[in-house]
């Protein structure tokens, strides 16, 4: 009955009503054109001693080829104990299965002989302590030091390391879960979390909107909760929750701003889970509950653009999803565009303009070290780990492309188009050609002559940024640029910089203006005047520490060590390791620090750091 109800919900959302052309996913073994998972029912036990999830995953199947009798799923390091077919009347039969040899990137295909087109398959299994999508933390690695902690990170293809499923964003499913855990701990999932739930070790969840596998999420730990609005709350460790709730108190205003632009928020609640500092990303847009790094809690709301970004995914990404990683710009480019519109609506155009200028500047810098094919919005990632294929291109070039369309058509036309786009493709996974067909019919066709096919091709299929791109500008940065130029020319002492009231983006603009190799004297003067070494602002800190390494300003090394030992967010630590690795002395220092930091890093961060250090 439970699965039938969930399938009815999927039908109501109209999953078969939109013309979306199938495209093979190079990062999945699944064959959804033959049979697709439509619902998932999890029964899981959380065992911290073994660092293991164990239980069953029951999959409700949609057989698109009624003559087929084989189901292929994605797994990585899962121990399969048994598999049963479940008939409509509830009777079960054991099924034969094989697991292919492990591929270092894609894991192992699980091939199940179903004999007939059974409606459900039940898989009993347990995870490995080395599951790439889970991080198990000892009490010593948490804020209180009292309880262990575990969280998942399923994007891009890590869901397969803790659930056997079709691990491709082209497949969407509803899910339910029953999770048992130690009684002192709270379980949170990307589903309908009850903020008043007793800490009784017994949790049940339901996600009635169909989601792709990378949005499947779980966390278990010593978590307190604070309500921040009628449909928002913050989960965090007890010592962090009050600061986090204060920092994110504008979340309801962000939701309202986004709804005004792009239509109703369709996920009921929007909560935020602040994870330990080892979380490898700034945020992960798991539906109903964003997983966020504590490094965005700056105390002045200067970094809450990240929350605007993850919230924006409720429309672009979670609602309308890229069908595979080669079209990631459909997720991240749209989301970065929507994020900036939310920031403008809630915090003003000056803040939004500064964000655009910094993003454009840093994208240009990043592209200088990229191959031409890596600069394309639509990429070929066959045989490439999608984690390694990600860069600022789908985010910032994708957003810039949408701003270009906005500039040509005007917001009076572009805003309604985008709102209708989200409505049209809601709860579907699409490719760039799907977007272009919709764009051609609903924007280009209504306002001909404003954008050419050559313009579109330049954005999607050519490297770099087109020469006709609108150039963002911030009037507040004019003063920062003058101060930076005067300081670097020796005309303005560090202590005389007009930086006392600079916000984070002004500091980022200034630090990005430093030369490739600043002088030690310049770094010493800046540090003495503004105490940048040891700053609690992660965005300022990692840029400052990279500059100190380039300058040879080794006085910052103790704080660098403390920073990268404490924080596991890849964006903040990998550039520092990469810069240190460029010299023999720096590399030796980095390796020594990494040996201490490694146990507290997520497996994804470990892999990125080891690649940067050549280990």
Whether CATH 1.25.40.320 fits 475-613: yes
Q: For the segment 320-368, what is each residue's pLDDT rounded down to a tens digit?
A: 999 999 999 999 999 999 999 999 999 999 999 999 999 999 999 999 9
SS3 for 160?
Answer: helix
Contact 242, 228 (CB under 8 A): no
Residue 276: band (very low, low, confident or very high) from pLDDT cuts 50, 70, 90: very high
Q: Which residue has the tokens 């579109």?
A: 456
Structure tokens at 443: 């924007």
Structure tokens at 252: 């309801």
pLDDT at residue 15, as a whole number: 47
Count Cα atoms within 13 angstroms, Cβ side, for 370: 20
**pLDDT classification of 4: cutoffs 50, 70, 90:** very low
- Does residue 388 surpass a pLDDT of 60? yes
Give pLDDT tens digits for 413-463.
999 999 999 999 999 999 999 999 999 999 999 999 999 999 999 999 999
User: Average pLDDT over the chain, rounded to whole?
Assistant: 95
Q: What pLDDT is attached to residue 80?
A: 98
Q: What is the pLDDT of residue 5?
A: 38
CATH class of 320-461: mainly alpha
pLDDT for residue 17: 58
* 601 has pLDDT over 80: yes
Question: d(Cα 553, Cα 108) in Å, to the nearest integer?
Answer: 47
Is residue 394 within 8 Å of 329, Cβ to Cβ?
Answer: yes
Considering only 104-108, 139-143, 167-171, which range has the smallest mean pLDDT?
A: 139-143
Taking 90 as the threshold, does the pLDDT of residue 9 lie above it? no
pLDDT digits (tens, 9 = 90+) for 484-543: 999 999 999 999 999 999 999 999 999 999 999 999 999 999 999 999 999 999 999 999
Mean pLDDT calculated for residue range 140-144: 89
* pLDDT for 16: 47
Residues 198-246: tens digit of each pLDDT: 999 999 999 999 999 999 999 999 999 999 999 999 999 999 999 999 9
Given a cut of 60, whether residue 7 has pLDDT beyond it is no
Dihedral of alpha carbons 297, 303, 308, 311, sign: negative
Averaged pLDDT, 138-148: 91
CB atoms within 10 A of CB 3: 20
526 within 8 A of 510, measured Cβ to Cβ = no
The CATH class, in words, for 2-130+153-213 is: mainly beta
Q: Do domains 2-130+153-213 and 475-613 have the same CATH topology?
A: no
The residue extents of the domains of the chain are 2-130+153-213, 320-461, 475-613
Catalytic residues: 310, 395
pLDDT at 104 over 70: yes
- Residues of the chain with pLDDT > 90, as a percent, come to 92
């Amino acid at each position: 009955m439970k699965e039938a109800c969930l399938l009815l919900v999927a039908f109501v959302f109209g999953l078969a009503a939109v013309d979306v052309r199938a495209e093979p996913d190079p990062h999945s073994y699944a064959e959804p054109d033959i049979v697709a998972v439509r619902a998932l029912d999890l029964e899981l036990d959380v065992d911290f001693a073994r660092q293991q999830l164990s239980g069953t995953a029951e999959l409700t199947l949609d057989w698109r080829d009624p003559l087929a009798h084989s189901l292929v799923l994605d797994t990585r390091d899962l121990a399969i104990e048994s598999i049963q077919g479940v008939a409509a009347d509830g009777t079960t039969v054991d099924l034969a299965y094989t697991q292919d040899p492990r591929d270092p990137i894609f894991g192992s295909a699980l091939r199940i002989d179903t004999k007939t087109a059974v409606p459900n398959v039940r898989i009993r299994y347990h995870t490995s302590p080395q599951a790439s999508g889970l991080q198990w933390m000892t009490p010593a690695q948490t804020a209180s030091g009292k309880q262990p902690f575990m969280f998942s990170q399923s994007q891009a293809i890590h869901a397969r390391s803790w659930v056997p499923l079709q691990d491709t964003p082209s497949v969407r499913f509803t899910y339910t879960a029953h999770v048992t855990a130690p009684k002192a701990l709270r379980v949170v999932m990307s589903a309908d979390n009850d903020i008043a739930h007793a800490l009784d070790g017994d949790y049940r969840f339901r996600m009635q909107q169909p989601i792709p596998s990378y949005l499947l999420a779980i966390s278990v730990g010593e978590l307190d909760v604070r309500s921040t609005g009628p449909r928002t709350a913050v989960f965090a460790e007890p010592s962090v929750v009050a600061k986090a709730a204060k920092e994110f108190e504008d979340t309801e205003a962000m939701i309202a701003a986004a709804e005004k632009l792009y239509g109703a928020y369709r996920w009921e609640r929007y909560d935020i889970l602040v994870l330990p500092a080892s979380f490898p990303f700034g945020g992960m847009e798991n539906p109903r509950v964003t997983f966020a790094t504590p490094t965005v809690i700056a105390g002045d709301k200067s970094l809450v653009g990240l929350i605007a970004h993850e919230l924006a995914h409720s429309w672009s990404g979670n609602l309308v999803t890229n069908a595979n990683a080669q079209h990631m710009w459909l997720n991240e480019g749209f989301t970065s565009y929507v994020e900036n519109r939310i920031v403008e609506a809630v915090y003003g155009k000056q803040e939004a303009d500064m964000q655009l200028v910094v993003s454009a500047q840093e994208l240009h810098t990043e592209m200088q070290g990229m191959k031409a094919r890596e600069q394309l919005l639509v990429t070929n990632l066959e045989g490439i780990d999608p984690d390694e294929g990600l860069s600022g291109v789908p985010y910032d070039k994708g957003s810039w492309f949408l701003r270009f369309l906005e500039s040509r058509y005007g917001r009076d036309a572009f805003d309604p188009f985008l709102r209708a786009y989200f409505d049209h493709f809601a709860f579907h996974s699409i490719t760039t050609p799907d977007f272009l067909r919709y764009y051609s019919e609903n924007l280009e066709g209504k306002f001909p002559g404003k954008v050419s096919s050559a313009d579109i091709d330049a954005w999607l299929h050519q490297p770099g940024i087109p020469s006709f791109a609108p150039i963002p500008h911030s009037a507040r940065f004019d003063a920062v640029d003058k101060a930076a130029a005067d300081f670097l020319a020796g005309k303005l002492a560090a202590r005389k910089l007009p930086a006392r009231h600079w916000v984070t983006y002004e500091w980022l603009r200034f630090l990005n203006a430093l030369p490739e190799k600043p002088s030690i004297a310049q770094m010493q003067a800046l540090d003495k005047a503004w105490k940048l070494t040891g700053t609690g602002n992660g965005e300022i800190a990692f840029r400052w520490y990279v500059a100190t390494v380039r300058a040879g300003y080794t006085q910052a090394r103790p704080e660098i060590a403390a920073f990268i030992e404490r924080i596991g967010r890849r964006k903040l630590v990998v550039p520092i390791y990469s810069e240190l690795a460029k010299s023999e002395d720096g590399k030796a220092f980095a390796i020594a620090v990494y040996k201490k930091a490694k146990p507290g890093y997520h497996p994804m961060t470990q892999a990125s750091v080891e690649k940067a250090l050549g280990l």
